[in-house]
């Protein structure tokens, strides 16, 4: 076979391949490709839906964790809050006993230990005497005329001490106010 014949054979083969590539596809091939495209699109939509569902579940779980953590912290604070609130009348009695028996070192020692423990738990007395009356901290149980004009609206005497617990008012101070 000569070079020309070889070239002619190769050219014919190339032309046949091009003709096959340019032939219109049959109906079943188009349907198959269309079905695959539809299936692929459907799978993509399912994936997007599942991903969206996953993100919502994850966000709900995170919110649940935060909420339960806050509720647990609140339970601890409120539990100690009720206990300390129940102990406050005993503290008041201790203070009256100290005022009645100034020289009793045993009562002073017990009182100071009790107050130290309560302070460690977040209890702090509200300073009221000589301060301006604040209805957010004080409860006026009596009003007396002011001796001087500068005293108007100030706390003259404390009938019952008020307390903070963790910087929130646990018990309002019952006070006498100058008017």
User: What average pLDDT does the segment 116-144 reach?
Assistant: 92
Helix (H, G, I), strand (E, B) or coil at 147: coil
Mean pLDDT of 5-22: 61
Q: How many CB atoms lie within 10 A of CB 162?
A: 20
For residue 139, pLDDT over 70 is answered with: yes
Quickly list DSSP for 102-141.
Answer: TT-HHHHHHHHHHHHHHHHTTEEEEP-TTSBP-TTTEEEE
Task: Give the model's pLDDT for residue 53.
Answer: 93
Tell whether the torsion through CA atoms of 30, 31, 34 and 35 is positive or negative: negative
Q: Is the pLDDT of residue 102 over 90?
A: no
Q: Across all residues in the chain, what is the average pLDDT?
A: 85
154-168 tens-digit pLDDT: 999 999 999 999 888
pLDDT at 100: 86
- Look at residue 46 in the predicted model and tell me its pLDDT: 93
Q: 175: which residues sit within 8 A by CB, 6+ positions away?
A: 128, 129, 133, 138, 139, 140, 141, 155, 156, 157, 158, 159
Pick the more confident residue, 4 or 80.
Answer: 80
Q: Which of 88, 156, 86 has the alpha carbon at shortest distance from 128?
A: 156
Residue 172 has pLDDT above 70, yes or no: yes
Homologous superfamily of domain range 123-179: Head domain of nucleotide exchange factor GrpE (2.30.22.10)
């Amino acid at each position: 076979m000569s070079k020309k014949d070889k070239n002619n054979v190769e050219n014919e083969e190339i032309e046949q391949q091009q003709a096959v590539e340019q032939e219109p596809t049959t109906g079943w091939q188009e349907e198959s490709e269309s079905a695959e495209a539809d299936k692929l699109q459907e799978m993509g939509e399912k994936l997007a839906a599942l991903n969206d569902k996953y993100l919502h579940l994850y966000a709900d779980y995170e919110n649940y964790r935060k909420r339960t953590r806050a509720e647990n912290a609140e339970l601890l604070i409120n539990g100690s809050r009720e206990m300390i609130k129940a102990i406050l009348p005993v503290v008041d009695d201790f203070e009256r006993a100290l005022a009645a028996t100034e020289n009793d070192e045993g009562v002073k020692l017990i009182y100071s230990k009790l107050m130290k423990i309560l302070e460690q738990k977040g209890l702090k007395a509200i300073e009221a005497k000589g301060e301006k009356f604040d209805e957010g901290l004080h409860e006026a149980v009596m009003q007396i005329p002011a001796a001087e004009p500068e005293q108007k609206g100030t706390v003259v005497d404390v009938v019952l001490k008020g307390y903070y617990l963790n910087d929130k008012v646990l018990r309002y101070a019952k006070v006498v106010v100058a008017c």
